Structure 1
Amino acid sequence: MPSVTRKTQGSRAERRDQIKARLLAAVESLLADGENFTELSVERLVSMAGVSRSTFYVYFEDKGELIRAWLAEIISELDVAAQAWWALDGDATWDDLRAALNRVVTVYRPHTTLMAAAFDAAAYDTGVRGQVDEMMQRNIAGLRKHIRTGQRTGSVDERLPAAQTAAWLTWMAERGLHRLVRDAADDELNMLVDAYASIVWNTLYAGARNGHADKPGR
């Protein structure tokens, strides 16, 4: 028979998830209206979410902890999406790469507003900054490993400095996802993913395949 303690813990976790969802929806709405997360007060946030101030502080120390809780979840989702790219081998085509990168974009796109809030919060919240830094460094490390593996097997241009190339591609992608993908219409989004795939293909793989990309001219 389940213990009363386990039921209580489960109920509290469910309640926290419900409150978190309402608060995050309020954050997105307020930021979409032009408010700045850094300047957003807890009073304004709970009022928008229809949650009492006391309830907020039952579950979250401050709005930084709210963002940290969300960020931990989205980082896990992005990790899974990125693995599809890093798992590509020498038989992968441009279309395979595009499909893998499209998965990353698809995961990231619904969360651009909250991700922007996380980067804003990182400027003053050491916990958020640590998560953001860890996320970016893990992405860089994963891509660096993929590049070095590809260089050993001949699928990635051996002339590239792996660490620096991984850092550039990771930070360029993060800024592009934030600035370009955020408000793109579906047709524009498809073109953005095409461009993203071509940039990565021509940077990493084309030089190892006699300089010919699968999709010339893109």
Structure 2
Amino acid sequence: MPARRDVPQKTNTDLRERILDALRELLRERTFDTLSVAEIITAAGVSRASFYFYFAGKQAVLAEVVRRAVGAGHAAAQPWTQGRPGPRETLRAGIDAGAGLWLSNAAVLRAIVESWASDSQLRELWLAQMATFTDAAVTRIEADRRADPAVAARLDGVDVPALAASLTWTGERLYYLAACAVPPFDDRTVLVDTLTHLWVSALYG
């Protein structure tokens, strides 16, 4: 007798992906706090046993899709964070790619931004994920400060981790507003121009 499709198997990634896809689709129409595990299970077409084989709860499902989006965000930012030449140009390219990433993952990223303050698991997740962007920015800023006397002079006496965190969290807020179609940041050019100006002005003058 052939095995049921929803019987948990460690090698069966299809079930896991169906659960992740189901949450993404549900979030297009619903807020995360109104969703139940039962609704995710129904949308994914899997059994309750299958769901709990892969995930401890709905927060764990959201955590996985958020981690994937953040991973894509780091990939987008690599030209600047890895110290490639032309910091202004690579910054703008990374910011624009980040805007595209947020828009393509708008439902998921709105869910984490709107939920992390009221859920301890999601709070820990989002603060940790945001810290990875801040840490990457600190590494690049410190490298620029060592390599460029003008940057060193500009940042003299500046708390670099605090500056990096401020820029990172400002980006999070403006990307979120764009994902919610809030003017003027629903215009991608305005969003990218504004964030690029903030980063370049703070770091390079």
| Global fold match (TM > 0.5) | yes
Residue 23 of structure 2 is matched in structure 1 by: 27
TM-score by length of 1: 0.73
1:18 and 2:14 equivalent?
A: yes
Residue 205 of structure 1 is matched in structure 2 by: 204
3-state SS of paired residue (2:17): helix
Q: Within 2, Cα distance between the matches of 1:106 and 1:21? A: 22
Indicate which of 155, 159, 169 corresponds to 1:158. Answer: 155
Pairs within 5 Å for 1:33-182? 33=29, 35-88=30-83, 92=86, 94-123=88-117, 125-152=119-146, 153-154=148-149, 156=151, 157-159=154-156, 160-181=158-179
Q: Within 2, Cα distance between the matches of 1:71 and 1:121? A: 12
3-state SS of paired residue (2:204): helix
Q: Within 2, Cα distance between the matches of 1:109 and 1:50? A: 27
> How far apart are 1:138 and its partner, in Å?
2.0
Cα deviation code 1:67-113 (max 9, x no counterpart): 22223333322223223222346x52633321132233333332221
Amino acid at match of 2:197: S
Amino acid at match of 2:79: A
Residue 215 of structure 1 is matched in structure 2 by: none
> How far apart are 1:173 and its partner, in Å?
0.4
Q: Is the CA contact (8 Å cut-off) linking 2:15 and 2:46 kept in structure 1?
A: yes
3-state SS of paired residue (2:9): helix
3-state SS of paired residue (1:122): helix
Stretches of structure 1 lacking an aligned partner (at least 5 in a row):
1-10, 207-218
Cα deviation code 1:38-93 (max 9, x no counterpart): 2311112222233333322232221112122223333322223223222346x526
Give the root-mean-square deviation of aligned CA atoms. Answer: 2.9
Stretches of structure 2 lacking an aligned partner (at least 5 in a row):
1-7
Q: Within 2, Cα distance between the matches of 1:88 and 1:182? A: 32
Q: Is the CA contact (8 Å cut-off) linking 2:72 and 2:101 kept in structure 1?
A: yes
Q: How many residues align?
A: 192
Counting aligned pairs with the same residue, the percent is 25
